[in-house]
Amino acid sequence: MDIFAKCYKPSLVDEVREKKIYPYFHALESRQDTEVIMEGKRRIMLGSNNYLGLTTHPEVIEAGVRAFEEYGSGCSGSRFLNGTLTLHLQLEEELAKFLRKEAVVTFSTGYQSNLGIISAIVGLGDYVIMDRENHASLYDACRLSFGKMLRFRHNDMEDLEKKLASVPENAGRLIVTDGVFSMGGDIANLPEICRLAKQYGARVMVDDAHGLGVIGEGGRGTASYYGLEDQVDIYMGTFSKSLASLGGYMAASRQVVDYVKHCSRPFIFSASITPASCAAALAALRILASHPELPETLQNRAVFMRAKLQDADIRMRESNGERIPIIPIYTYEPLPTLVIAKELYNRGVYVNSTLPPATAPGECLLRTSLMATHSEALIEEAVGIIADVLRSHHVGE
């Protein structure tokens, strides 16, 4: 049998392309900002993770250009060998200080961070206990490790306790959860997770890719939001969202970080973050550290948009994070969701279509996300278009 046979079979992708409602790979022709030029037309950007709007900040851009000129275009090797710059060490030191952890190690992407952390920490005979709605990279990380994965129902602490109780007493246990869930915009029940971890002798890892710069004191993330910074053993995060660059990190105790640096294959065998990306992330971190009001502005924008959507009788997914800038809107079925997203795109609003398996059947969503730099006027304009399109399709009636 030809191994490529699967590539030629008719698929949903073929169907939606034929219907001209394919939602992916739209090309940007401008900077990532609140308004963009995409395929020749102005669009209000409600589908980016640029939460603090720092991708266009002059200090971030200047830092990247300066690093490009000083260090060149790349490191041409892994951190383990020739790819460590003073910039990497500086970023790690300042990020550890900001997060109030002993040490930080950086990875080339956020996805790779999860692969590198879990594959190093979780060995044969160990268990990872995962929230079902965790990011795909965490699932892949468990597959790369030699441990066993158990999944608990989303934010269901009774189910988590059942899973913990089923783990053999002599096995290592790592509870892994997103801090802010990327599709639903809700927040993990970290107080109860930490309580159960202590009761059952487990360690806790939080994927805070969508928490850094968004919640917590000065944007320090989910553990800070709950006042549990001393009870979360590992923070993971990315530079591609609030910090307006590319890369990822792990923050933990010095011993755990050192162990991962010497045992993580994705870390050892990958080239390091480019100088420009590293410098841009460092500049963005410094802006966040010196402007703690930025996350508050972002949260206020989220409250404002939710109120406008509610006034327009638009049904949002229920969430315990009303100040989270991820706001999912119900569209229910896959094909209508894609049709609606295409109409919004044509009318100048870019959103993300969320379909199964990222959602449950019959619960498709338009995932909208805000930046601190969105004006209230721009949000009102976008909500007006969204409401008009949803009404024309009788969504929610």
How do residues 258-282 score in pLDDT, each as one tens digit?
999 999 999 999 999 999 999 999 9
* Range 31-54 burial, b when 16+ CB lie within 10 A, else e: ebbbbbebeeeebbbbbbbbbbbb
Query: Mean pLDDT over all residues of the chain?
Result: 96
Q: How far apart are the first and last CA of the chain?
A: 49
Max CA pair span of the chain: 60
Per CATH, 5-51+292-392 and 58-290 having the same topology is answered: no
Tokens 């590319």, residue located: 246
Which residue ranges make up each domain of the chain? 5-51+292-392, 58-290
Give mean pLDDT, residues 165-178: 97
Give the C-alpha separation, 311 to 371, whole Å.
21
Tokens of 370: 């805000």
Q: How confident is the model at residue 396 (pLDDT cuts 50, 70, 90)?
A: low
Tokens of 43: 């669009």
Tokens of 262: 């010497």
334-353 pLDDT, tens digit per residue, is 999 999 999 999 999 999 99
* 397 vs 106, more confident: 106
Tokens of 190: 């970290």
Give the active site residues.
Answer: 182, 210, 241
Under DSSP, is residue 143 helix (H, G, I), strand (E, B) or coil?
helix
Q: How confident is the model at residue 168 (pLDDT cuts 50, 70, 90)?
A: very high
Give the C-alpha separation, 283 to 54, whole Å.
10
**What residues are paired with 329 via a beta bridge?**
316, 366
Give the C-alpha separation, 279 to 83, whole Å.
15
pLDDT at site 357: 84
| 354, 367 Cβ separation under 8 angstroms | yes
Give the C-alpha separation, 189 to 177, whole Å.
9
Q: Looking at the predicted structure, is the pLDDT value of residue 294 above 90?
A: yes
Q: Residues with Cβ < 8 Å from 304, sequence gap 6 or more?
A: 376, 379
Task: Report the top-level CATH class of 5-51+292-392.
Answer: alpha beta
Q: Which CATH architecture is the domain 58-290 placed in?
A: 3-Layer(aba) Sandwich (3.40)
Under DSSP, is residue 206 helix (H, G, I), strand (E, B) or coil?
strand
